[in-house]
Amino acid sequence: MRASGIRNRFPLVVLYLSVAIPLLSAQGQDRRPEDVQKGIVHVTSKPYQKWLDEDVRWIITDQERSDFLNLTTNNQRDKFVEDFWSRRNPTPQSSENPYKEEHYRRIGYANTHFAAGVPGWKTDRGRIYIMFGPPDSVDSKLGISPPVETWRYACVSGWGRNLVFEFTDQCRCGKYLLTLDQGDFEHPAPLFDPLNLHRFR
């Protein structure tokens, strides 16, 4: 009778452990060492993975990315994201953050105007637009084969002067790929320029 009672309860114990162990392992640490080495956040943190891989992909520094991947709790990640935007706020005394607003505006613009089989932010033109904003001039040569589009920036603080980016639509399908980039710089600044507000809009 006693043995029978134990056998009847055994499936419940297994069920409890199958639920409790994953929950306990997720508390306080939801990343795996091999994930950190690969540069990804654990799958249980999808909103943070999107923030890292999409929202700030083109503006986060290598050190910031490394620091973020070493965080172990969502509270730490929330604080990191808050500090990330605060450091870039050109008006820290204000509740508004023009840099953050402009950054997401650029992502929206890139997604609307540069999408070609993939979201606009993933394209070469989208990346340059998100990083540097609208070019000072655009030379589109649609009548040649393949079509070429050249963007010029007179000056981008922290990066240099006379930046030129050439994009070519080899497949004539709207997928412009970066085929030339040149400017008066050898080692571009790895960080944002929060005071570079003259490029906004």
Across the chain, where does the E strand assignment appear? 137-141, 148-156, 160-168, 177-182
For the chain, domains (ranges, CATH) are 2-71 (no CATH), 98-199 (3.30.1450)
- Cα distance between residue 189 and residue 88, in whole Å: 15
Angle between helices 74-87 and 62-69 (to 10 degrees): 160
What's the predicted TM-score (pTM) here? Answer: 0.72
> Nearest-CA neighbor of 192 among 122, 103, 106, 107?
103
Give pLDDT tens digits along the chain (201 positions). 444 554 454 444 333 434 333 333 334 444 444 454 445 545 447 899 999 999 999 999 999 999 999 999 999 999 999 999 999 999 988 889 999 999 999 999 999 999 999 999 999 999 999 999 999 999 999 888 899 999 999 988 778 889 999 999 999 888 999 998 876 554 444 445 554 544 443
For the chain, state the CA radius of gyration. 24
